[in-house]
A and B are shown apart, each in its own frame.
Chain A
């Protein structure tokens, strides 16, 4: 069993829809949780960075962490075709500078 599980998709939604992306994990030591967006032939771009449980909002993006369920989510409101990319969750136990454990990534396609 992988430490971090993420549905690879692809996930197709119409423009303007609310997108929900999720990851589950098995290691209860994880404390820092990240979401990255990766366009084709590009490196991962940091979207959200959260510590412990709770919600964090940044523009159209909301990250949720439920440590009791070992479950994290990223919500994208008013999705745009430019949001079409692969979304990677990552987590780490000690600090933001420690090694990250990534999910496999979810491919998202927003249809105009």
Chain B
């Protein structure tokens, strides 16, 4: 049973650049959520995608955008990168409609901004 997979595992970018991170959900899941985890902190919710639409959004600027594809995989895009965007970006998947099922996380993409 394939779990949540994310790519790449590590990225190095410079300020002002743009980045795209990718996520494939756990087999059978249809909902993808993205979180940002700064060093020493808990994950912070960015947004959630279901049926190819953004359904919920956390307190992140419009520089953060996303997309979900018909096969349920998802991308997170960040424009105009800032030093403060350096973090571990986590993708979590779940099955909408089953309220008693938790989210499962991938191992994340570590983004470093120079």
Q: Please give the residue numbers on chain A whose beta carbons come within 8 Å of chain B beta carbons, in ascending order.
A: 4, 6, 8, 32, 34, 36, 41-46, 49, 51, 88, 90, 94-105
Contact = CB atoms under 8 A, between A and B. Distances in A.
A46 B56 contact: no
Interface of B: 4, 6, 31, 33, 35, 40-45, 48, 56, 58, 90, 92, 94-108, 110
Contacts of B106: 43
- The main secondary structure of chain B at its interface with chain A is loop
Nearest to A48: B102
A72 B83 CA distance: 35
- The main secondary structure of chain A at its interface with chain B is loop
Contact of A44 (B43, B44, B95): B43
A105 B105 CA distance: 16
Given A32-B102, A42-B107, A43-B107, 4 more contacts: A34-B102, A88-B43, A95-B99, A96-B98
A24 to B, nearest CB: 14
A43 B91 CA distance: 9
Contact of A97 (B41, B44, B98): B98
Contacts of B94: 96-97
Contacts of B90: 43-44
Given A97-B96, A99-B33, A45 B105 contact: yes
Nearest to B46: A99
The 4 closest A-B pairs by CB, nearest first: A102-B42, A95-B99, A43-B105, A99-B45
Contacts of B107: 41-43
13 contacts: A43-B90, A43-B107, A43-B108, A44-B105, A46-B104, A96-B98, A97-B31, A97-B97, A101-B45, A102-B42, A103-B42, A104-B40, A105-B41
Contacts of A104: 40-42
A105 B41 CA distance: 7
A8 B102 contact: no
B40 A102 contact: no
Contacts of A42: 107-108
